[in-house]
């Protein structure tokens, strides 16, 4: 009797562990992002950045210790704030490209 209970407990435990594992692989798999990243976009982002974004600060602000940006959306928001200071505002697509470039080169956040 006891032996049977022990075995069924073991089976139950293995079953639960099995479920957990499945759950884990699903969660730890990189989340598929809706944002498409290509080398062409990164290059475009760099070109736009180097042309428009280094009049007030150089790239050292992206690596400063006291930076307040914690994820990709905050980075995008900051790029929009900075863009608002440009005399010739960027198109939304260009803002996305600059953000991808900065993220790939400096911040390395997961894409939303
Ligand atoms: C008119 C001046 C000005 C221009 C032009 C400008 N920025 Fe900024 N940027 C700032 C200032 C000032 C800060 C610092 C804000 C702070 O202290 O939080 C900043 C901070 C940032 C940060 C945050 C750095 C960090 O991690 O703390 C990013 C990212 C950034 N700028 C991107 C850009 C991009 C991209 C462009 C071009 C589209 C751009 N900036 C153009 C003034 C400017």
Q: Which atom of ligand 1 is nearest to the CA of 98?
A: 35
Residue 15 domain boundaries: 1-30
Domain count, the chain: 2
Ligand 1 mean position, distance from CA 78 (Å): 7
Model confidence pLDDT, tens digit, residues 81-97:
999 999 999 999 999 99
Same domain flag for 58 and 84: yes
Beta carbon of 102 within 6 Å of any ligand 1 atom: yes
* Cα gap 16→20, rounded to integer Å: 6
In a domain, 19, yes or no: yes
| pTM given for the model | 0.78
Same domain flag for 18 and 43: no
Model confidence pLDDT, tens digit, residues 10-62:
454 545 455 444 444 444 445 578 888 999 999 999 999 999 999 999 999 99
* Cα gap 11→38, rounded to integer Å: 47
End-to-end CA distance of the chain: 53
Same domain flag for 99 and 58: yes
């Amino acid at each position: 009797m006891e032996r049977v209970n022990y075995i069924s407990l073991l089976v139950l435990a293995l079953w639960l562990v099995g479920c957990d594992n499945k759950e884990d692989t699903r969660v730890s798999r990189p989340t598929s992002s809706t944002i498409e990243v290509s080398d062409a976009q990164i290059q475009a982002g760099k070109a736009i950045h180097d042309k428009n974004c280094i009049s007030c600060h150089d790239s050292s602000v992206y690596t400063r210790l006291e930076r307040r940006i914690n994820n990709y959306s905050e980075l995008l928001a900051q790029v929009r704030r900075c863009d608002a200071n440009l005399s010739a505002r960027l198109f939304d697509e260009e803002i996305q490209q600059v953000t991808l470039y900065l993220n790939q080169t400096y911040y390395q956040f997961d894409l939303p």
